[in-house]
């Protein structure tokens, strides 16, 4: 089975890793689709596409039990039907040309791919109350270093190098300043 796993990976965290390990037990190959590839330096999307690819490649290098992974990406287009078609087009550019099942817990993604006739499989949540990009970003934004325990340890040097925490603090400060003007 060829699996499709879609996410923004802002940043890649242990919840994403749990998903990939689960999918690896079901599929022979995983296509990771990085969403919102055209959005960066915002509070919800602080990392750019290249930074997210670097992080995912580091995961692939460090997690030997994962099945082979291909990385694709799609931009936000503010049109759900068009976005779904873009994902399918990007998959068709890979050596696999198609996928058998979308693995997701996102209701909108589930609906969009079911409408197109694709199999959609849920993924058991792993400590969902902790492993969410929004929570990790919020902690980093206020310099709560506990965010670091929610991402794989081997990603911390890259996140430090790209100044993940400092970037979120600066973005939050800019938003605050703009709101005060």
Rounded to an integer, what distance in angstroms lies between the CA atom of residue 131 and that of residue 128? Answer: 5
**Lowest model confidence (mean pLDDT) among 23-27, 122-126, 158-162:** 122-126
- In terms of C-beta distances under 8 Å and separation of at least 24 residues, what long-range contacts does 17-21 make, across chains too? 17/59, 17/63, 17/152, 18/123, 18/126, 18/131, 19/103, 19/123, 19/126, 20/59, 20/63, 20/66, 20/69, 21/63, 21/65, 21/66
Rounded to an integer, what distance in angstroms lies between the CA atom of residue 67 and that of residue 70? Answer: 10
Q: Residue 88 is part of a domain; what is its CATH number?
A: 3.40.50.620
Mean pLDDT of the chain: 93
Give residue-wise pLDDT tens across range 69-100. 999 999 999 999 999 999 999 999 999 999 99
Q: How many CB atoms lie within 10 A of CB 121?
A: 18
Instruction: Assess contact for 11 and 151: CB atoms under 8 A.
Output: yes
| pLDDT bracket for residue 124 (50, 70, 90) | confident
Domain containing 44 equals 1-181
Question: Considering its fold, how many domains does the chain have in total?
Answer: 1
Q: What is residue 176's predicted lDDT score, i.e. its pLDDT?
A: 79
Give residue-wise pLDDT tens across range 130-167. 667 889 999 999 999 999 999 999 999 999 999 999 99
Q: What is the mean pLDDT of residues 18-40?
A: 97
Q: What is the mean pLDDT of residues 101-112?
A: 95
Dig out the tokens for 85 from the structure: 């078609």
0.75 exceeded by pTM: yes
Is 114 in a helix, a strand, or coil? helix
Share of the chain above pLDDT 70, in %: 94
Q: What is residue 133's predicted lDDT score, i.e. its pLDDT?
A: 82
Q: What is the mean pLDDT of residues 31-45?
A: 96
Q: What is residue 92's predicted lDDT score, i.e. its pLDDT?
A: 97
Does residue 38 have a pLDDT over 90? yes
Q: What is residue 127's predicted lDDT score, i.e. its pLDDT?
A: 65
Is the four-CA dihedral 108, 63, 149, 143 of positive or negative sign?
negative
Q: What is residue 178's predicted lDDT score, i.e. its pLDDT?
A: 73
């Amino acid at each position: 089975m060829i699996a499709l796993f879609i996410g923004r990976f802002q940043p890649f965290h242990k919840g994403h890793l749990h998903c990939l390990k689960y999918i690896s037990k079901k599929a022979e190959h995983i296509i990771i689709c990085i969403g919102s590839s055209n959005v960066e330096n915002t509070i919800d999307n602080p990392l750019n596409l290249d930074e997210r690819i670097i992080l995912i490649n580091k995961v692939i290098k460090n997690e030997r039990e994962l099945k082979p992974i291909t990385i694709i990406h799609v931009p936000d287009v503010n049109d759900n039907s068009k976005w779904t078609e873009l994902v399918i087009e990007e998959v068709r550019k890979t050596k696999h040309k198609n996928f058998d099942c979308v693995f997701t817990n996102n209701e909108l993604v589930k609906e969009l791919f079911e409408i197109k006739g694709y199999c959609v499989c849920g993924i058991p949540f792993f400590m969902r109350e902790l492993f969410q990009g929004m929570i990790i970003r919020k902690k980093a934004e206020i310099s709560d270093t506990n965010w670091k325990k929610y991402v794989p340890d081997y990603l911390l040097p890259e996140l430090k190098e790209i100044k993940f925490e400092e970037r979120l603090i600066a973005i939050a400060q800019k938003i605050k300043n703009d709101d005060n003007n």
